């Protein structure tokens, strides 16, 4: 019985790890989801515009990969990466196009 429980835990952990994906793109906001901030210009830089759209207009941080836009579940961490190329690790919820974020790091 003990080995059955242990096997179930291991299988669940492996299945969970397999759902993790890596996404590369630009952190931006849902007001300027395609990372074109020319119509908003909410600050002297694109990064300032991204942060301002979230703070002032209630936009959400998103990841734009050049084709698709994904909302990010973590709305705190992306602030430091406004308008930067990043790598996001997490799980995509296909029905909502939201990434359940595990980590965000700057792309090199």
Taking only the tens of pLDDT, the chain with its 108 residues reads 555 444 445 454 444 556 899 999 999 999 887 777 666 677 788 888 899 889 998 999 999 999 999 999 999 999 999 899 999 999 999 999 999 999 999 998
The span from the first CA to the last CA of the chain, in angstroms, equals 48
Please give the biggest Cα pair distance in the chain.
Answer: 64
Q: Which of these, 46, 40, 38, 55, lies nearest to 85 by C-alpha position? A: 46
Q: Is residue 85 part of a domain?
A: yes
Q: Which of these, 76, 72, 78, 79, lies nearest to 98 by C-alpha position? A: 72
Which CATH number does the domain housing residue 41 bear? 2.40.50
Q: Is residue 10 part of a domain?
A: no
Structural domain harbouring 57: 20-106
Our count of domains for the chain comes to: 1
Q: Is residue 4 part of a domain?
A: no
Q: Is residue 13 part of a domain?
A: no
């Amino acid at each position: 019985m003990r080995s059955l429980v242990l096997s179930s835990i291991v299988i669940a952990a492996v299945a969970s790890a397999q759902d993790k994906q890596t996404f590369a793109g630009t952190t931006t906001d849902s007001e300027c989801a395609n990372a074109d901030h020319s119509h908003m210009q909410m600050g002297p830089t694109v990064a300032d515009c991204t942060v301002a759209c979230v703070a002032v207009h209630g936009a959400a941080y998103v990841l734009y990969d050049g084709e698709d836009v994904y909302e990010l579940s973590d709305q705190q961490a992306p602030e430091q990466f406004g308008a930067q190329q990043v790598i996001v690790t997490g799980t995509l919820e296909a029905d909502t196009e939201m990434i359940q974020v595990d980590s965000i790091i700057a792309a090199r």
